[in-house]
Amino acid sequence: MAKKDFKQVQDIGFKSLIETFKDYTGSSRENVIKGIGDDASVSKQENGKVTCTSSEIFMEGVHFDLTYTPFQHLGYKVVTAAVSDIIAMNAEPEQILIDVAIPNKYSVQMIEQLYQGIDAAGKDYNVMVTGGDTTASHQILAISVTCIGSADKESVIYRNGAKKGDIICVTGELGSAIAGLRILLREKKSWQENPEQQFQPDLASYEHVVQRQLLPKARLDLYETLKKSEVKPHALIDLTQGLVADLTEVLKQSGVGAEIYSPAVPISLEARNVADEMNEDVDKYAFYGGEDFEMLFTLPEPLVEKFKADFDDFIVIGRVTDAEKQLTVNTGEEHNYQIDL
């Protein structure tokens, strides 16, 4: 390969990297309704239902830091991430497979704690661990989780269904997970600078945001409500990369634009306090932080109040516009700004 043809992944980013190989999909299958491009793949079953499948991978030092992450919390969180993808298809998560590469530096007791967390999440989400693989690793712990769920074919909700005039809604709160991470990183740095001191930070006043980082919960309650409700969103995605990144995926795949109202974005008081303490912009926590595992969905405006009667833990943050290929952020002040899609 010529030197001028060599390009590092960091030069283009992972989103562009995915674009380079998304067409390498092997043989096409008639029963596969949706492949790459959504929270999960969708394939037809013989009984008129569909199977949804998604996987997540977690690498020590990249996705988690065992300096401040208990093994039980890590086990719970990896299951949450995989389950959340299935919920984002409006499907019921049913089983998970766990692949783990384990270095010798970790004890049997530590790995048992990891699986205790996996087991606790499985019980909370009513999913069964049905298999996986275990192998050795030279240096770092790596975990891959595959989640399989099912739904009626007509019940599945994709990212690409948003329509002009739809109302953009998000569940829960945004930005708390990254606020928790900022606190944990600060305490780790303090410990590294003073290694002779015992590492026992007082996190009592940060309990909410730290828990949102270490022990997030997937929005199974939204799926259970939608299953009973007459309301069906046009588009649905889980918020794992940050509001801007995930909303952009919905807009690009739906061929529409949007205007969101930043004062309406739900941010907890605890996250605001952390941002103030760090002298940082709390809106950036919500817009770009990620790992909140909340849900974003779009609804026709007449159905918003109707759905509120069924499920009240969501906030209206904006509206879908025509296909100007832009995301407009309305700050509620004189200056608005656009984000290219």
Q: Name the pLDDT band for 287 (thresholds 50, 70, 90).
A: very high
Instruction: State the average pLDDT over residues 299-312.
Output: 96
Q: Can you give the length of the chain in residues? A: 341
Number of domains in the chain: 2
Query: What pLDDT does 55 receive?
Result: 94
* Average of per-residue pLDDT values in the chain: 91
Q: Which pLDDT score, from 0 to 100, does residue 23 have?
A: 76
Interval 144-194: pLDDT, tens: 999 999 999 999 999 999 999 999 999 999 999 999 999 999 988 887 777
Tell me how far CA of residue 212 lies from CA of 69, 123, 188, 215, 284, in angstroms: 12, 19, 18, 6, 17
**Same domain flag for 105 and 181:** no
Residues 150 and 253 reside in one and the same domain = no
Residue type, 42: V
Residue 332 pLDDT more than 90? no
Mean pLDDT of 59-66: 94
Q: Name which of 246, 173, 169 is nearest 209 in CA terms.
A: 173
Q: How confident is the model at residue 27 (pLDDT cuts 50, 70, 90)?
A: confident
The rounded percent of the chain whose pLDDT value lies above 90 is: 76
pLDDT band at 3 (very low <50, low <70, confident <90, very high): low
* Between residues 6 and 304, the one the model is more confident about: 304
Residue 38's pLDDT is 74
Q: Among 3-17, 36-50, 70-84, 87-101, which is the least confidently predicted range?
A: 3-17
Among candidates 218, 265, 248, 280, which has minimal Cα distance to 89?
Answer: 218
Residues 6+ apart with CB under 8 A from 117: 70, 71, 72, 73, 74, 75, 76, 77, 79
Q: What's the whole-number mean pLDDT along residues 309-327? A: 92
Q: Do 146 and 178 have their domain in common?
A: no
CATH code at position 25: 3.30.1330.10
Q: What radius of gyration, in Å, describes the C-alpha atoms of the chain? A: 21
Q: What is the pLDDT of residues 88-111, one digit of tens each?
A: 999 999 999 999 999 999 999 999
Predicted local distance difference test score (pLDDT) of residue 4: 59
Q: What number is the average pLDDT over the span 233-245? A: 97
- Residues 140 and 277 reside in one and the same domain: no
Beta strands in 240-279 (DSSP E): 257-261
198 pLDDT higher than 70: no
- The confidence score (pLDDT) of residue 1 equals 47
Check if the beta carbon of residue 236 is closer than 8 Å to that of residue 157.
Answer: yes
Q: Which two tokens stand for residue 138?
A: 């030279």
Look up tokens 């960091």; give the residue.
10
pLDDT at 41: 86
Shared-domain flag, residues 190 and 112: no
Sheet bearing 326-330, strands edge to edge: 235-239, 294-299, 167-171, 314-321, 257-261, 326-330, 337-340
| 49-59 sheet: strands from edge to edge | 32-34, 41-44, 49-59, 142-152, 92-102, 128-136
Q: Do strands 167-171 and 314-321 pair parallel, antiparallel, or not at all (unpaired)?
A: antiparallel
Terminal C-alpha separation, the chain: 33
**Do 129 and 13 fall within a single domain?**
yes
Q: Environment class of residue 332 by beta-carbon count within 10 Å: exposed (0-12), middle (13-18) or buried (19+)?
A: exposed
Domain end call among 155, 186, 209: 155
CB 169 within 8 A of CB 109: no
Of 111, 131, 155, the last residue of a domain is 155
Residues 134 and 189 both lie in one domain: no
Same domain, 134 and 197: no
Which one-letter amino acid corresponds to residue 95? Q
Q: Residues 288, 169: one domain? A: yes
Specify the pTM. 0.91
- 91, 126, 155 - which closes a domain: 155
Same domain, 119 and 238: no
Same domain for 179 and 296?
A: yes
Domain shared by 105 and 77, yes or no? yes
The domain that contains 274 carries what CATH number? 3.90.650.10
**DSSP of 44-82:** E-TTSEEEEEEEEEEEBTTTB-TTT--HHHHHHHHHHHH
Range of the domain at 104: 3-155
